[in-house]
Chain A
Amino acid sequence: MRMNWLLPTAMLLPALMGGLLLVWKPRRRMTRLVMVGVTLAVTLLTVVWTAALPVLSVSLGPSSSAFPSFLLKTDEVARLFSVLTGFLWLFGGLYAFFYFKDDPLENRFFGVYLLVLGALIGLDFAGNLFTFYLFFEVVTLLSFPLVLHTGTPEARTAALKYLFYSLSGGFLALLGIAFLSLYLPSLTFTPGGVLSALSFSRRKELFEALIFVCLLGFSVKAGLFPLHNWLPTAHAAAPAPASAVLSGVLAKAGVLGILRVVYFVVGPDVLAGSWVQTVFLWLTLATIVIGSMMAYQEKILKKRLAYSTVSQLSYSLFGLFLLTPGGLEGGLFHVVVHALSKSALFFAAGVFVTVTGKATVDDLRGIGCRQPMTLIGYTLASLCLIGLPLTGGFVSKWQLATASLAAPLGGWSLAGPVVLLLSALLTAGYLLPPVVDGFFPGRDTPVFPRPAALPILSAVVLSLGILAVGLGLFPSVLTSFLSGWIGSLF
């Protein structure tokens, strides 16, 4: 029996429950907890079940050639991203429930939180470029209230900036998508791309320009320099659970978009060696460095982590633009590693900010005495992002470095490992001070006025940190999955 109904279910269940929460506004917290918790758990189960099944697809919409149709389809990429999304959303929901002890707007948060989950799953399951674009814009619109949550003037400015940058990125992508639709037999995602060299050779310059514009549009969401300005403010202004999923999962929508266009629509062989690839390699390397440098000099903890996201996402983008199997595998491995680590870091940051009542890194002295578990989780996640051996981050960095050296890029090949190393040093520089200061405060131990955070919050941080490191100890879990299908894209 075809289980195609699983696809819309995975998408609509959280969306409808989110809408229900917003409209019904249940008064008792327990009701809300049950609704949210059950929805998240069931959604995760559904996507895992979907991942275990062979390819499913659902399509509806215009059948004419003038307008593209709506298509949901599971392939390996969809499985990877949807399971990652569902998994982190569950952790985030759990964390959020205990984080928002008495926030009157908690209901709105959870309603929007579930809506965004539905839209993201739709994005992950999108089977053609039009459906992807649709969900891309919908995700932007729905996640806007998450950034806006606290309602302060800074949050409003950050949210509006996020909204307009992301929508603009979407429109740039649309320009490219419309052009591609004229020259491609279909916009459906096909491993290795459907573009034949012949079909675009007549208008090659325009074609390359519009592909560039399209990829640039998606890379706005992935925080590529110089279009990254929205990310630090937005991820810092959002409440900690939202920041975690924004950095950990939502920003990956941009990476997914680029992945889809390059590997499933256009084809890596078309772009290999072109100026498009060169420019993007430049930009990703620049972003890695600039993001790390900005993080290093940033004092506010959440903003520091946000700049770190800017930098780390470009690791994945760099791997994608190498246009080799090794690069792609490294990039995707890092997507998972970063999702786990950055979520842990933001969750930890939320705990720290709540306990100290302050926002900067300097105020974290001695926090290890009050929140040891949280700080250990933070340390594990940090080591992972730095790329210490035996952590997940090391595996992905190693893959990226070797892929860069192996890629047919001439002088470029060396730039990759150099930048990665430089960034690793900077990452250590901006992530480790809270660890050192936290566990070894020096002579006078500071007093923290607020009570300790609930242990469940620390447990979330710690478990994500352990998972991130665990990926380093048992990388074959992921690498064997990835290498199984990456070869088919080339």
Chain B
Amino acid sequence: MHGLLLTAPLLASIAGGILVYLLRGHSQRLLRVLVGAIVALTSALTALLLIVHPNRPLTIFAFTDRLVLQLRLDGLGGLFAGLVACLWPLTTLYAFRYLAKDERQNTYFAFFTMTFGVVLGIALASNMLTLYVFYELLTLATLPLVLHPMTKAAIRAGRKYLCYSLGGSAFAFIGLVFLTVYADNTGFVSGGVAFSDGVSSSLMLLIYILAFCGFGVKAALFPFHGWLPTASIAPTPTTALLHAVAVVKAGAFAIIRLTYYSFGTARLRGTWAQAAVLGLAAITILFGGVMALRQSHLKRRLAYSTVSNLSYILLGAALMSPEGLTAGLLHLVTHSLIKIGAFFCVGNIQQETGASYVFEINGFAKKLPVTFACFTVCALGLIGLPPLSGFFSKWALLRAALGEASPLAVAGAVALIVSAVLTAVYMLIVVVRAYAFPPQENGPAQNPLLRTAKAANAAMVIPVVLSAAATTAMAAFIDPLYDVLSRIAAGLL
């Protein structure tokens, strides 16, 4: 029974995706219905899984007695799976409308659906091998999504994405091998696994750093972040997924598994390895913010913002304390909602007005009032204005960082504040330009294909409004949410 529950969502989406691919020659309407049904079914099955919450693992395949592909639901995995299952249908709805005129959308949706299942596989993986397998599959499943436009830029972006990801996986593989050889238990255990005696601690720390950086590629850690801004030229549903939900959060998720469930924080706290990863996270936070300021392309600006915000999560995780992990997880949730909303808004702007650059959107708030209103909410949430959701995760991160004795942690807190200032500048400039600046002379406003705001399709507006609403309303649920997250962090769930 538990096996069925665990595999059903994965089967539904992966097999469903393959089915869509095989049927790609058929009518687009038919396949859209099919895709919608598959995604809805998968989300429903995930919800069912979370409600029933079976505790026993399911071995899918055993290579040897120590190397097994196994799925299991625990608190952390359930959190990630639940988040993904909420956001995928939203993105699907948006993608239907966004790609409505795209000829090869069937292929796109096939891989889109498959990616859903692969991400769920990452969430439900019960040991590092399974995680690694699905991690590699994630690269392969998302690559066609990046390549989709088949322009020179897209192919270059896809190639970069592939090289970076495979490189990162190679280093993560080293960590996997180390764990398999030296750890008593290859599965994920809250608090970390025991290692056999005689393992040199400096070797262990070195391997940890390598694996951290390996997984850090997908989590856009500096200096391995380069693929993310380049890939932001992909269609908006891809970037929304990549940047808000699937790929980058999978990277952060893997790092959390590595730190808290494999190596264990007791072993890592206070070591030079922790100092190194704290430093990298803090650097990335600042780097992302500064680079975002310099981008005039809206999506690239948001991409660098993601680079910065992902490292908020990594900073929380690198603090190696329950408060740090809880704060990081809270930011994982809040940032996903905010960033997906922001990307959807930018996608709307691009579709409706043809504007892609910051300087082109002067005065556009009148044309797209709902979109820009929601973008303002997302911007303020990203900056961390109370009582929006972003404030609570920032507050938790600040407290967790300032509560540590090490000066690096305090430096991390300072980096968060500097980043908030940078975020305010690069996000609010967009808002102010849209509302307060007079429209440009020769810009997209002269585009005869420009439609008025009322023509903005509901399918592209509803996800935007929902994201903004969730950002605003989260304050009402912040206590129970934080409670759940701190129980996960304490290993109780």
Contact = CB atoms under 8 A, between A and B. Distances in A.
Interface of A: 61-64, 66-67, 70, 130, 133-134, 137-138, 141, 144-145, 148, 151, 156, 159-160, 163-164, 167-168, 171-172, 174-175, 178-179, 181-182, 203, 206, 210
B432 to A, nearest CB: 7
A67 B479 contact: yes
B436 A151 contact: yes
A178 B428 contact: no
A144 B424 CA distance: 14
6 contacts: A66-B486, A156-B432, A171-B421, A174-B417, A178-B395, A210-B402
A174 B410 CA distance: 14
B160 interface: no
Contacts of A203: 405
Interface in B362-419: 380, 383, 385-387, 392, 395-396, 398-399, 402-403, 405, 410, 413-414, 417
Contact of A175 (B387, B417, B424): B417
Nearest to B392: A67
Nearest to A175: B417
A163 B436 CA distance: 14
B386 A175 contact: no
Most buried by B among A66, A67, A70, A171: A66
Contacts of B387: 70, 134
Contact of A206 (B398, B410, B482): B410
A182 B420 contact: no
A160 B432 contact: yes
A178 B436 contact: no
Given A130-B386, A137-B385, A67 B402 contact: no
Given A151-B436, A156-B436, A168-B421, A62 B395 contact: no
B272 interface: no
Contacts of A171: 417, 420-421, 424
Nearest to A160: B432
Contacts of A67: 392, 395-396, 478-479, 482
Which of A138, A144, A175 has the most chain B CB atoms inside 10 A of its CB?
A: A175
Secondary structure type dominating chain B contacts: helix
Nearest to B485: A66
Contacts of A61: 475
A133 B421 contact: no
In the complex, the 10 A-B pairs of residues with the closest C-beta atoms, listed nearest first? A178-B398, A134-B386, A62-B479, A168-B421, A179-B402, A171-B420, A167-B424, A175-B417, A171-B417, A64-B479
Contacts of B386: 130, 133-134, 137
A63 B479 contact: yes
A62 B420 contact: no
Interface in B475-493: 475, 478-479, 482-483, 486
A66 B432 contact: no
B434 to A, nearest CB: 13
Nearest to B401: A178
B385 A182 contact: no
Interface string B432-458: 100011100000000000000000000
Contact of A164 (B395, B410, B424): B424
B413 A175 contact: yes
Contacts of B410: 206
B398 A141 contact: no
Contacts of B437: 156
Contacts of B417: 171-172, 174-175
Contacts of A138: 385
Contacts of A134: 386-387
B398 A175 contact: yes
B369 to A, nearest CB: 12
A61 B410 CA distance: 28
Given A159-B436, A164-B424, 4 more contacts: A66-B399, A137-B385, A163-B428, A181-B399
Nearest to B391: A134
A160 B429 contact: yes
Contacts of B396: 66-67
B425 interface: yes
Nearest to B405: A203
B482 A164 contact: no
